[in-house]
A and B are shown apart, each in its own frame.
Chain A
Amino acid sequence: MSVNRILVLILLALALLACTGRSNAVFRDEFLAMGTLVSVSLYGVDEARVPGISRQIRDDFNYMDGAWHPWKAGPLGRVNELLPLQGRFSLPPSLKPVLLQARELSRQSEGLFNPAIGGLIKLWGFHRDEPPTGPPPPAAAIAELVAQKPSMDDLHIEGFGIRSDNPAVLLDFGGFAKGYAIDRVIERLKSLGIENVIVNAGGDLRAVGSKGDQPWRIGVRHPRAGGVLASLEIHGDESVFTSGDYERFYEYQGRRYHHIIDPRTGYPARDFVSVTVIHGSAAVADAASTALFVAGKRDWRRIAARMGVEQVMLVDDQGEIILTPAMAERVHFEVEPRPSLRVERLP
């Protein structure tokens, strides 16, 4: 056989390999947990392992859903019954790491991510799986809760004992639980040897590894028009979280009331319609997207820097898009005409 012929055969073999390398080997599992649709995409996993892996992920989510629901019977529900009594009691062990990380992130955000405002969330009715229908709560009731300044620093934790010295403190991990849960599930999957996976809980996700030689491709939904606003690629391990005023809201007398409450005013934060954050940790991305949404146009840069977040995309109430330089480098806009963009540096 001539050298030419051998070369040609090698080329042919390579071409065929390229075809088979694109086999559709992404397994997807979807289920309902934490009041949302959870979707898990696995790549490069032996198909026989998929049902067992899916079962473990579902069990983990269901456990965390029960443990961290602020108002249902369960560990956090019990803590919320006891906190207003202001006595010392035992913190359920599974809650301690959640609480400590939430407190640290709350401090970094200067209290703008504030899981201690469970009372305000409940007053607005955003604690239920179903969003409320309005009208908004009485202004006096909101003012009274805001004046009591519930904060994570009102909690005193020693060992597994906890005490609150502010009767207004009630815990709601709404802007954090999904991120924390995703981090725990990714930890579990890594320990099982899974190297390529996306865990997406209601649109907030962490993507690890890649899809063979292709990166994971993520679309960021347009906050108003539907469809995809922007896309980005992940090859490695990153979380993409968006806080938006379209996720849980109602309209009353022509005004939109959404679930991201500013602890300083007691009312929904107004400057932005969506804030997207990319960070290695899903818990940090979750808390930061909430904190920056609340921080508004004046303060978001300072809070982002304090929380160690460099990749941020904000859509303001006029539809203008603000990006940090690190985000601008990697995000690709998928809408025509191209939206109005502004790049702003962090301090």
Chain B
Amino acid sequence: MSRLDRLLVALVGLALAGVTVLLWRPAQQGAWAEVLVGAEVVRRLPLDHAQRIEIGGRLGTSVLEVAQGRVRFVDSPCPGKLCVHAGWLRHTGESSFCLPNGVGLRIAGLHEVYDAINF
């Protein structure tokens, strides 16, 4: 094996290691939360930065909270509070929507764990 061969083998080894990391990464938590008003994304909230924000919708203000890599509706001016009952969202692909107020939350990331959430 020449020096060039050895270099190529090393390159292939590195490339395969990279592919393995990319393809076999375990199910991971989302990287950020997308805040939707209607069907438009209006804010992106990093999940590693704890904060509480207010988003205006059709009926009033929805309050969202980010903490410990998760996000949730804390309050919303809808009567049913289904968005609040949905609780914490953590994994990419999870979402919750306050239809009356037209405000939604969706977890996004580079590698989505789920293609769709059934509920």
Contacts and interface: CB of A to CB of B under 8 A. Distances in A.
Interface of A: 2, 4-5, 8-9, 11-12, 15-16, 18-19, 22, 26, 30-32, 35-37, 39, 41, 129-131, 133, 198, 200, 203-205, 207, 211, 216-221, 223, 225-228, 231, 240-242, 244, 246-250, 276, 334
Contact of A221 (B16, B36, B113, B119): B119
B115 A227 contact: no
Contacts, number: 136
A112 to B, nearest CB: 22
Contact of B4 (A5, A26, A129, A130): A5
Interface of B: 1-2, 4-5, 8-9, 11-12, 15-16, 18-19, 22-23, 27, 36, 38-39, 72, 78-80, 82, 85-91, 93-95, 97, 99-100, 104, 113-119
A246 B117 contact: no
Contacts of B85: 226, 246
Given A218-B116, A228-B117, A15 B19 contact: yes
A315 to B, nearest CB: 12
A110 to B, nearest CB: 26
Summarize B's interface: helix, strand, loop or mixed: mixed
Contact of A226 (B87, B93, B115): B87
A26 B115 CA distance: 9
A198 B116 contact: yes
Given A219-B114, A227-B87, A12 B99 contact: no
Contacts of B2: 2, 5
A41 B22 CA distance: 22
A31 B38 CA distance: 8
Contact of B5 (A2, A19, A228): A2
A8 B115 contact: no
Contacts of A2: 2, 5
Contacts of A334: 27
A236 to B, nearest CB: 14
Contact of B89 (A4, A131, A226): A226
B116 A41 contact: yes
Contact of A204 (B1, B80, B118): B118
